[in-house]
Chain A
Amino acid sequence: MVEFEVNSPVIEAVGLKKEFSVSEQGKGFAGAVKALFSTKKRIVRAVDGVGFSIQPGEFVGYAGENGAGKSTTIKILTGILVPSAGTATVRGVVPYRDRKANAANIGVVFGQRTQLWWDLPTSDSFEMLRAIYRIKRGDYADMMKKLSDVLDLGPLMSVPVRKLSLGQRMKCDIAASLIHRPKVLFLDEPTIGLDVVAKENIRQFLGEINRTEGTTIILTTHDMNDIERLCARLIILDKGRVIYDGLTEGLRQRFGHEKVLEVEFDGRSPAKTALPNLEIVAENGSKISFKYLEDGRSGGLAAIIGKLAADFPVKDILVREPSVEVIIRSIYEKTVSLPPYDGQK
């Protein structure tokens, strides 16, 4: 867990709003032609009053469905977009007003696009970035050694970037975003499309950078495992508004009463109606997963397990907390509702 320092926040966003005007376009070719001559515009509010404050050294997950406003917020904080209303500062710099000063303080990884020189050997990209960020030779050598030790970049250095695998490229891209030792790192979907091993490598590395360099990291991802593994704090966005801002663990505690019970039966398994408080969520041969809803009347989980074991031939029982992914999905699907967010962590 990150120690919160009594210090000025490294990122401060207050009432950020961002409106886009989008031309309406109907379906198919006819719609496209019609849109060509129409001036009908629709205002879309991608970010609608987002505010948060992030302390130095925090590792924050920034989650939300597609179109919730994640990328737009990141683009404001990195200086790419100017907000329609509200203010933001990153290390005291207003990113969209003092773009270059902000750029020197931050590292940015867009998972979908590389910042490396596509046709050149990987090492050339790092040399270019050394020049661009005016890094002293000694500092550069130190950081390069550290990055390539941890990420095992050595063998990749002489290979043209276009010949790297997605996982290798992402390792290099993340290293490239850190070469100037930024105090703040923005990661937009850094694990997208990676296999399990590559994801794990990246996660380990990010955790280490956060601990050893004290880099503040903001991570947007669709993979809730990333957030569960890395982010002590989670901000959830829905329709351009913050609907949750607090400890990742806190989210689970709030929904912790919805535990999953995985039971393996030896032969005969119970009928659905035989068990109050248990709802079958998955069935896999003799293994059945139940959702256990604590309501305070049924005598708790122990009683349920006791009853199960007495009435049926139980081979194995596993009680699992719901994953953050399951919780968030249920928030999106509106099967659970969060209390209105009051701006308090």
Chain B
Amino acid sequence: MDTLKIYAAMALASLRARLEYKVAFFAFLFAVIFFYLAQLGALLVVMVRFKEINGWDMGQMAFLFGLLTFSQGFAALFFNGLANFDRMLIGGEFDRTLVRPLSPLAQIIVSKFEVSTVAHGIIGSVALYYGAKLSGIHWTFWKAAALPAVIFGGVLIQGGIRLAVTAVAFWTLKNESLVHTVVFSGKEFVVYPITIYNDGIRFFLTFIFPLAFVNFYPAQYFLDKRGETLFHPALQGLTPLVGVIVFSLSLWAWKAGVDHYQSSGS
């Protein structure tokens, strides 16, 4: 509890530091909102023109987008600070986290808290709400209970992927391009139902780089799309479990990275 208070104070300090540059802060916030609105707009244009993509209509597509963006907002809130981690490593800033009586990872997370990700959250929840409404989801008790669990799993998956990619920097020192490819471009794939891709990509997004669990598989469950099972119907309920597995593996990779750093001094 005490430790949580310390981290909360550090997070607040980083927020105050961000607000020192008010113009930059709001410009970034605006850019984030604009980017996601543009993405959503492009999707809507496509949907108006084609009515449906592989059997997914506009409401269902919005729901898919909402699940992705909402959980992404949460993941970014905590893990955005990792985006420039290679610079911390090269500049020696990381050393400082090792000489404080706290966890290095937690220090980095709270020192680079990214509040502007509320933008993802807002857009994501609007898309979720209208998506659910348009596609007429029949909300049962289990579905209502599953939604937070699915969001939680989605956050763990996206956060875990960011963490794993970040840990690579302990060996390569620079990983900026990898971060951009994997973290920021990778999720573009799952804006669409992954059934539109060939087998290789479906397999990749399910078992190697399991972004499909963030939105595609749980959306199948929520939208009762039983007709188009991919691999196995059980996958639709596995998002929280996949999240826990991905995040645990990433934490392990991160810890291995810290050990490597401490023993190689790079």
Interface size counted on chain B using CB atoms at 8 A: 26
Cross-chain contact B17 with A80 (CB below 8 angstroms): no
Cross-chain contact B93 with A113 (CB below 8 angstroms): yes
Checking B6, B20, B96 against A115 with a beta-carbon cut-off of 8 angstroms, the contacting residue is: B96
Interface size counted on chain A using CB atoms at 8 A: 36
Cross-chain contact A20 with B99 (CB below 8 angstroms): no
- Is B226 positioned at the interface, with any CB of A under 8 Å from its CB? no
What is the minimal beta-carbon distance from B261 to any residue of chain A, in angstroms? 8
Contact indicator per residue, chain A 92-109, by CB within 8 Å of chain B (1) or not (0): 000010011101101010
Cβ–Cβ < 8 Å partners of B147 in chain A: none
> Measured between alpha carbons, how far is A81 from B263 in the docked complex, in Å?
6
Cβ–Cβ < 8 Å partners of B20 in chain A: 119-120, 160
Checking A113, A117, A119, A132 against B6 with a beta-carbon cut-off of 8 angstroms, the contacting residue is: A132
Which secondary structure dominates where chain A touches chain B? mixed
Cβ–Cβ < 8 Å partners of A255 in chain B: none
Cross-chain contact B265 with A18 (CB below 8 angstroms): yes
Cross-chain contact A103 with B262 (CB below 8 angstroms): no
Given the interface pairs A75-B95, A113-B91, A160-B20, the reply to whether A132 lies near B13 with Cβ below 8 Å is no
Cross-chain contact A108 with B99 (CB below 8 angstroms): yes
> Measured between alpha carbons, how far is A81 from B259 in the docked complex, in Å?
9
Query: Which residue of the partner chain A has the closest CB to B19?
Result: A119
> Measured between alpha carbons, how far is A96 from B266 in the docked complex, in Å?
16
Given the interface pairs A75-B265, A81-B265, the reply to whether A128 lies near B9 with Cβ below 8 Å is yes
Cβ–Cβ < 8 Å partners of A80 in chain B: 95, 98-99, 262
Cβ–Cβ < 8 Å partners of A341 in chain B: none
What is the minimal beta-carbon distance from B57 to any residue of chain A, in angstroms? 48
Known: A80-B262, A84-B263, A117-B17. 5 other contacts (CB 8 A): A18-B265, A78-B99, A113-B93, A119-B20, A131-B6
Residues of B bordering A, CB below 8 Å: 2, 5-6, 9-10, 13, 16-17, 20-21, 91-93, 95-96, 98-102, 259, 262-266
5 residue pairs A–B, Cβ–Cβ below 8 Å: A21-B264, A103-B99, A120-B16, A132-B6, A160-B20
